[in-house]
Chain A
Amino acid sequence: MNERLSEEMLPAEDVLRVEGIAKRYGAVTALRDVHIHLERGEVLGLIGDNGAGKSTIIKILTGFLQPDDGRIFVNGQEVRLRSVQYARSLGIETVYQDLALVNELSVYHNMFLKRERLWKPLPFLNNRAMRKQAQEHLERLGIRIPSVDVEVSKLSGGQRQAIAMARAVSSDAKILLLDEPLAAMGAREGAQILDLIRSLKEKDVSIIMIGHNYAQVLEVCDRINLLQHGRITFDKRVAPTLLEEITEIVMREYRTSKVGSG
Chain B
Amino acid sequence: MAEEVAQDTSPSQTTLEGPPEQREQSSGVIGVLLKLRPLLLRAINIFLKQREASIAVVAVVLVIYFQASNSVFLSKENIALLGQYVAPAAIIAAGEVMLLICGEIDLSVGNVFALAPFLMFRAFDGYGIPLTLSIILALLASAFIGLVNGIVTVYFEVPSLIATLGTFFVLSGLTLIISDAFPALTPAPGTTYADVMGHGTYSGILWAIGILIIMQVVLSRTRWGLHTVATGGNPLGASEVGVNVRRIKIGNFMLTSIFGGLAGILESFRITSIDPKAGGTDIMFAAVAGAVIGGTALQGGLGTVIGAFLGVLVTDILKDGFTILGVSAFDFDLILGTAILVAMILNVRLQKLREAGRQ
Contacts and interface: CB of A to CB of B under 8 A. Distances in A.
B306 interface: no
Contact of B301 (A96, A104, A148): A104
| Most chain B C-beta atoms within 10 Å of own C-beta, residue among A113, A125, A148 | A113
A84 B241 CA distance: 9
Contacts of A149: 5, 8-9
B229 A102 contact: yes
A125 B223 contact: yes
Nearest to A153: B233
A87 to B, nearest CB: 12
A103 B1 contact: no
B71 to A, nearest CB: 43
Q: Which applies to chain A's interface (DSSP): helix, strand, loop or mixed? A: loop
B242 interface: yes
B176 interface: no
A146 B243 contact: no
B236 A147 contact: no
B9 A105 contact: no
Contacts of B234: 100-103
A114 B243 contact: yes
Contacts of B24: none
Contacts of B157: none
Interface in B216-237: 217, 221-223, 226-227, 229-230, 232-234, 236-237
Nearest to B221: A124
Interface string B279-305: 000000000000000000000011000
Contacts of A104: 229, 232-233, 301-302
Contact of B237 (A99, A109, A116): A99
B225 to A, nearest CB: 8
Contacts of B8: 146-147, 149-150
Nearest to A85: B242
Contacts of B232: 104
A124 B229 contact: no
A147 B8 CA distance: 7
Contacts of A109: 226
A251 B92 CA distance: 63
B4 interface: yes
B238 interface: yes
Interface residues of A, number: 27
A98 B236 contact: yes
A118 interface: yes
A107 to B, nearest CB: 11
A145 to B, nearest CB: 10
A100 B236 contact: yes
B240 interface: yes
Contacts of A124: 217, 221-222
Interface string B241-281: 11100000000000000000000000000000000000000
Nearest to A114: B242
Contacts of A100: 234, 236-238, 240-241
Contacts of A135: 1-2, 5
A11 interface: no
Nearest to A109: B226
Nearest to A101: B237
A113 B240 contact: no
B163 to A, nearest CB: 25
Contacts of B227: 113-114
A118 B301 contact: no
A103 B240 contact: no
B226 A125 contact: yes
A139 interface: yes
Contacts of B242: 84-85, 114
B223 A116 contact: yes
A99 B234 CA distance: 10
A114 B241 contact: yes
A104 B103 CA distance: 13
Nearest to B242: A114
Nearest to A115: B242
Contact of A148 (B5, B221, B238, B302): B5
Contacts of A116: 223, 226
Contacts of A96: 237, 240
| Most chain A C-beta atoms within 10 Å of own C-beta, residue among B9, B223, B232 | B223
| Most chain B C-beta atoms within 10 Å of own C-beta, residue among A98, A100, A109, A124 | A100
Contacts of A139: 1
| Most chain B C-beta atoms within 10 Å of own C-beta, residue among A103, A114, A149 | A114
A113 B230 contact: yes
B302 to A, nearest CB: 6
B348 to A, nearest CB: 18
Nearest to A116: B223
Given A100-B241, A114-B241, A135-B1, A125 B233 contact: no
A125 B222 contact: yes
Interface of B: 1-2, 4-5, 8-9, 217, 221-223, 226-227, 229-230, 232-234, 236-238, 240-243, 301-302
11 contacts: A84-B242, A96-B240, A100-B238, A102-B229, A103-B233, A103-B234, A109-B226, A113-B230, A118-B223, A123-B222, A131-B5
